[in-house]
Structure 1
Amino acid sequence: MSVPPQASVSSSSSYAQGLALVGFGGFVLSFDIPLIRLSESAFWTVLLVRGALTCLAAVLIWRIDRALFPRGQKLIAGRAGLVVTGIYSLAAASFVFSVFNTSAGNVVFILAFNPMFSAILSWRLVGERPSTPTLLAIPATLFGVLLIIGAGFETGNWMGALAALATAFLIALAITLARRSRTDMRYAAALGAFLPALIAVPFVAAEGIHSEAIGWLALNGAVIIPIALICLALGPMFVPAPIVSMAYLVETVLAPVWVWMVFAERPTDLALAGGIVVVGTLVVHSLVELGRARRSRRRSIAVASRHV
């Protein structure tokens, strides 16, 4: 049975929409770490304020969505949605811990390993076998991440580097499970901030709110994070999990630039070398995969046209 050209065009359009969504989400997310740093807040304060506002904003957006479309998306998409939300909760906590225990550059460079985790998990859990370029990219990016963790041992902030690696794995796992379920989980990542915020409540109650510029933290939690996470959580509906994960490459490139510009914080030479290996590998990988996807779509359209 032949595929109508219209179906191929529609598929290409959905793919383009997915790329635009996750690309925008990655760009917005690049302001996360700089805003946390600008707020000069304590760890528990960040966990509570950022998490609570992110969750509240997600619920508010969902309520507006339901008011406009009464049969719209559920806040939590069943048991699978609950599991994915729980995984995002762990990722939110480990991410904030990593920000406080290693440099911003180290965090985002290690988070760039996310696409490789997604490729491996998608292979094991979804049956989407990685392409040859992806299989070649995995050891190269792993080498870069090991360099960054090695830099962490030199400077004594290796725990933050390992927490960033755990965050990359958890985000990749959540994205892959969402992809496997084929369910709209646009609010899962933002709602995942609730549990860390809840855990932070007794600590903040005991020591109080500690922030020199809480407005930056409020902007981050109420606007930046919900928009970024909802865009990224929508991605698996349109494109494969490894492609969604590559949106974090945008943050990897831009976040250290913002931090370098504002705080003059330069990564160590070893961490910078590792970051260059990771980013360079992923850029080459993305270009190769994009070329393959375009050629595949052109072949599909050509075959469909011949059968009309």
Structure 2
Amino acid sequence: MRYGTGVMLVLAAGTLWSLMGLGLRQIEDASVWNIMFWRSVGMAPVLLAWIAWTSGGKPVAAVKSVGVAGAIGGFGLVFAFAGAIYAIQTTTIANAVFLFTASPFVAAVLGWILLRERVAPATWAAIGLAVVGMFVMVREGLAVGALVGNMAALLSAVGFGAFSVALRWGKLADMLPAALLGAVFSAAAAALVIVVLGEPFVVSPRDMGIATGIGAVVLAVGMIFFTIGSRVIPAADLTLFSLIEVLLAPLWVWAILGETASSGTFVGGAILLAAVAFNAVAGTRARRVSPA
């Protein structure tokens, strides 16, 4: 695959993922756990079908190959999915997606603590800048009553960071089997909470259809595009290209729903995006100057 083709696939994935907030805004009555359950129900079959095709009809063997690392990564996605849904429902899309971008820094810190991976000085600087941006956003959330939503968005970032570290720990080249486990674990966790809370599994056909569609198309197809494209793109470049999701998500809800965000969100978000971009550029330069 050519580099340009990989870029187009990654950008297509980010564009799909940017629609998630807009889709969740269309859900009327379903709870966080209903959405999580039906979204996972939509996501799992698509990923399973793709894994079955790429593994030569041996999806079970492909899933087993990820081992304990893939299972831990899958559990990380449970927190990532639940936190993302709750955040999008309780704060602005801009606030949520900006805070989601903290996940690479969470992964860097967790990798340093758990895997003893070296963190470059430039990454530490970017982490410090990101903390400043997140503080501005969370402080603003306290003033507008969205603090819990901000905390949920950060929990989602931690979940995705844990997913990334688990993949590195297991040296897994393909994240799709672990993502499939994440969908299965998320459906099981949501089902358990629904039973405990006494909520109905069956909500309105509209809400079920939207949640299932988000899982099957926005998340699953986007993840397939991203996985294929990422095979020919360095990790630092991937970070930059993935920002398309952060840039587009607030635009969709602004253009279609008229939703905007506070000045604190955009100031803090701009600082956070600058940190992500700086870290990605620094990583690209380090890759170029390192010996072959």
TM-score of the superposition, structure 1-length normalised? 0.79
Amino acid at match of 1:189: A
Contact residue 24 and residue 89 of structure 2 kept, 8 A: no
CA distance in 1, matches of 2:288, 2:2: 14
Amino acid at match of 2:245: E
Identity value in percent: 24
3-state DSSP of counterpart to 2:261? coil
Which position in structure 1 is the counterpart of 2:186? 196
Amino acid at match of 1:36: L
Q: How do 1:1-308 residues align onto structure 2 when only pairs under 5 Å count?
A: 23-43=11-31, 44-66=33-55, 68=56, 70=58, 74-76=62-64, 77-183=66-172, 184-201=174-191, 202=195, 206=200, 208-210=202-204, 212=206, 214-231=208-225, 248-296=242-290, 300=292
Cα-to-partner distance string for 1:151-178 (whole Å, 9 max, x where unaligned): 2111112111001101101111111120
3-state DSSP of counterpart to 1:129? coil
Contact residue 103 and residue 160 of structure 2 kept, 8 A: yes
Cα-to-partner distance string for 1:169-212 (whole Å, 9 max, x where unaligned): 11111111201211233222243133333344436863741464
3-state DSSP of counterpart to 2:26? helix
Amino acid at match of 1:29: W
Amino acid at match of 1:219: G
- From the superposition, tell whether residues 234 and 195 of structure 1 become closer, same or farther in structure 2 (CA, over 3 Å): same
Return the index of the structure with the highest Cα Rg.
1
- From the superposition, tell whether residues 245 and 171 of structure 1 become closer, same or farther in structure 2 (CA, over 3 Å): farther
Contact residue 78 and residue 186 of structure 2 kept, 8 A: yes
- After alignment, is 196-205 or 257-266 more displaced? 196-205
Cα-to-partner distance string for 1:29-77 (whole Å, 9 max, x where unaligned): 21221122234452233122111111222222223334x3559961242
CA drift of 1:264 comes to 1.3
Amino acid at match of 1:289: G
- After alignment, is 37-46 or 243-252 more displaced? 243-252
- After alignment, is 237-246 or 131-140 more displaced? 237-246
Cα RMSD of the aligned pairs, angstroms, is 3.2
CA distance in 2, matches of 1:82, 1:213: 29
Which position in structure 2 is the counterpart of 1:306? none
- From the superposition, tell whether residues 265 and 145 of structure 1 become closer, same or farther in structure 2 (CA, over 3 Å): same
Contact residue 88 and residue 188 of structure 1 kept, 8 A: no
CA drift of 1:274 comes to 0.6
Contact residue 179 and residue 240 of structure 1 kept, 8 A: no
In structure 2, stretches of 5+ residues that fail to align are none
Amino acid at match of 1:273: V
Amino acid at match of 2:95: N
3-state DSSP of counterpart to 2:200? helix
Which position in structure 2 is the counterpart of 1:8? none
CA distance in 2, matches of 1:40, 1:185: 32
Amino acid at match of 2:181: L
Contact residue 175 and residue 236 of structure 1 kept, 8 A: no
3-state DSSP of counterpart to 2:176? coil
CA drift of 1:236 comes to 8.5
3-state DSSP of counterpart to 1:192? helix
CA distance in 2, matches of 1:248, 1:17: 15
CA drift of 1:246 comes to 5.7
In structure 1, stretches of 5+ residues that fail to align are 1-12, 301-308
Amino acid at match of 2:81: A
- From the superposition, tell whether residues 190 and 18 of structure 1 become closer, same or farther in structure 2 (CA, over 3 Å): farther
Contact residue 118 and residue 242 of structure 1 kept, 8 A: no
CA drift of 1:240 comes to 7.8
Which position in structure 2 is the counterpart of 1:9? none
